[in-house]
Amino acid sequence: MANTLTALAPVLFSAAQEVSNEAFGIVDSINAMFNDKGAAKGDNILVPVAPIRAATDFSPANVSAAGDDAIAKNVTVTISQSKKVSWHLTGEQIRSLDNGAESAEWSRQLVAQGMRTLRNLAEADAATAIKQGSSRAIGTAGTTPFGSDINLFAQAYKELKDNGAPMSDLQFCIDTSAGFNLRKLGIIQQAYQAGSEEERRTGQLLRQFGFRIQESAGISLHTKGTGASYVTSGSTAVGVTDIALVTGANTILAGDVVTFAADTNNKYVVGTGITAPGTISLNRPGAKVVIATANALTVGNNYMPNVAFERSAVVGIMRPPVIPENPTIKQLLISDSRGMTYLLLDIAQYGQRTWELHLAYGFKVVQPEHVVTVMG
């Protein structure tokens, strides 16, 4: 196995194609920016976001209007994680593989499983980033959606449309329990009888109200903070995101869903929390009504953070890390059909070799207005 990676390259690339064809709900639903440019944990990647322009009245004139400069706006996405999967081979194991006909297939399976492990980690981190960056929440904490109807699709659609989201590429990512409920609903079952059996044959959920539906095992229970007895300090105007709180105690966490005594109709998602009296930040577009001073805040219950959003509202950066050249380390970049690139290392050691599969990534909600949490 002196030149193992080069010899096995075709097999390893086939592993990448196999994994890329498997559905990963959230990573497949966001604006994923994959390439083979190296990145390190902590790197800040600039992502261009077009500014929102206000409309003005048109008046004919003999001189053209000057107009406003379209200044490019960049949003920073931090590479927050750099993960690896590794395994060792002793000299005896290497010789055994070289003597057997199944060595290439065994290597392919190892790499494919490593890729799945890394993608699952990225999927869970993407779910957390979206949960913490959502604008508002709908549904009931502790109650799995779609138990009796599909009304939450219509409500999520309304919230996104009211917030000005583009409606051409809507995504709805749900946990597997919500998917189970959805599949056994009578209205979905009737779709089979109306002439479409695609859903039942493939297991994929068909679009509802414009949403492309994906299931994700990366969605996990959000455990709320322990904060209690907080009240607002000062009046909060419509659209304000930073809200000062006093008199209470304990934590309010990013991702917590809160309501105010003056506004029980809207469930706001906290973007930045507190551990003691201070200022929390709601995600844009902020308060929908005026919240008076000395207004009680209530932290909602634990919930499963299903999410509805427009694809471009969430950005994911996934790249291989940068490893310095070393004569004892062979490196191979493996890209799948979507452009996701892993770094595979073959490291020579004393009496054994170590393989490491690496992936670095970061996720960010760049348009919180275009994300809605659907609690379960």
pLDDT band at 1 (very low <50, low <70, confident <90, very high): very low
**pTM of the predicted model as reported, rounded to 2 decimal places:** 0.88
Q: Look over the chain and give the mean of its residue pLDDT values, rounded to a whole number.
A: 88
Q: What is the pLDDT of residue 195?
A: 58
pLDDT of residue 351: 80
Which range of 5-14, 53-62, 328-337 scores highest in mean pLDDT? It is 328-337
CA nearest to 359, candidates 130, 9, 19: 19
pLDDT average, residue stretch 266-291: 97
pLDDT at 93: 66
| Type of residue numbered 322 | V
How many CB atoms are closer than 10 A to CB 144?
Answer: 19
pLDDT score of 51 more than 70: no
Residue-wise pLDDT for 158-212, tens only, equals: 999 999 999 999 999 999 999 999 988 877 767 666 656 666 676 678 789 999 9
pLDDT category, 2, cuts 50, 70, 90?
Answer: very low
Q: Is the pLDDT of residue 23 over 80?
A: no
The pLDDT score that the predictor gives to residue 95 is 67
CB contact at 8 A, 270 and 282: yes
**Are the beta carbons of 129 and 173 closer than 8 angstroms?**
no
Confidence of residue 87 (pLDDT cuts 50, 70, 90): confident
Average pLDDT over residues 142-164: 96
- Token pair in block for residue 12: 């390893």
Kindly give, in sequence order, each residue whose CB lies less than 8 Å from that of residue 339, ignoring residues fewer than 6 positions away.
34, 35
pLDDT given at position 47: 83
Which of 187, 157, 158, 152 has the alpha carbon at shortest distance from 171?
157
Distance CA 94, CA 104 (A): 12
Per the model's pLDDT, the better-predicted residue between 112 and 177 turns out to be 177
Confidence at residue 356, expressed as pLDDT on a 0 to 100 scale: 92
Question: Average pLDDT in the 370-376 region?
Answer: 98
Give percent of the chain with pLDDT exceeding 90: 61
Least reliable range by pLDDT among 61-65, 93-97, 165-169, 226-230: 93-97
Q: pLDDT-based confidence at 55, cuts 50/70/90?
A: confident
Residue-wise DSSP of 191-258: HHHTT--HHHHH-PPPPBTTEEEEE-TT--PBPPP--BS-EESS-B-TT--EEEEES-BS-B-TT-EE
Given a cut of 90, whether residue 265 has pLDDT beyond it is yes
Q: Is the pLDDT of residue 329 over 70?
A: yes
* pLDDT tier for residue 109 given thresholds of 50, 70 and 90: confident
Over residues 30-44, the mean pLDDT reads: 91
Tokens encoding 311:
């694809």
pLDDT at 57: 82
